[in-house]
Amino acid sequence: MMNEKMTSAFLDQINKELYSEYLYLSIKAYFLDLNLQGFATWMDVQIQEEHAHAMGMFNYVVERGEKVVLSAIDKPESSWKSPLDAFKAILAHEQFVTSKINDLAQVAQDTNDRAAMLFINWYIKEQVEEESNVGGVLAQLEMIGDDKSALFALDKELSTRVFVAPVIG
């Protein structure tokens, strides 16, 4: 059993994580269109992480004896001005998700749900890592500017990113 407010906050966050997956899939399509295979691979890891974030909460709601009810996922943007512009959008989105996770933690605190607070702590730490990872690539893109050969070198570097399934909770 879980407080109704807590359950509905989790369901809302599941939707946000699935939207993140959808947005990053759209950004992957943008990179593939530019023939930036490494950037696309980097996004692939991001997509799988967002799916894992959603499923972590999905499983937690079930574990607490509540039913998961899904809602519509918003249509993501499909084009950006440049890879730099796309990464600015990713960072802004992660900052938004961080604020949503903080809101979720606030609901857990308001409803005095200690178990949910412990569970949400993992996501609070994960957001620090997300913002740092995205910020790192963004800083490199800012340095690169219009240098095409530097962009292709970064593309090669990003192609090495590998998904490691997170242990959530």
Largest CA distance in the chain: 56
Q: Which is nearer to Mg ion, 57 or 151 (CB)?
A: 57
Closest by CA to 101, choosing from 83, 74, 128, is 128
CB of 126 to Mg ion, least distance (A): 7
Which of 9, 98, 13, 22 shows the shortest CA–CA distance to 53? 13
CB of 130 to Mg ion, least distance (A): 7
Residues lying near Mg ion in the complex (CB under 5 A): 17, 50, 53
Q: Return the number of the residue (79 or 96) whose C-beta is nearest Mg ion.
A: 96
Rounded to whole angstroms, the Cα distance separating 39 from 8 reads 35
Number of Cα atoms under 13 Å in the Cβ half of residue 89: 18
- CB 1 to Mg ion: min, Å: 26
Please give the residue whose beta carbon sits closest to Mg ion in the complex.
Answer: 53
Whole-number Å distance between alpha carbons of 108 and 114:
7
Q: Which is nearer to Mg ion, 50 or 66 (CB)?
A: 50
| Nearer Cβ to Mg ion (90/141) | 90
E strand or H helix at 161, and its extent?
none
Minimum CB separation from Mg ion for residue 52, in Å? 8
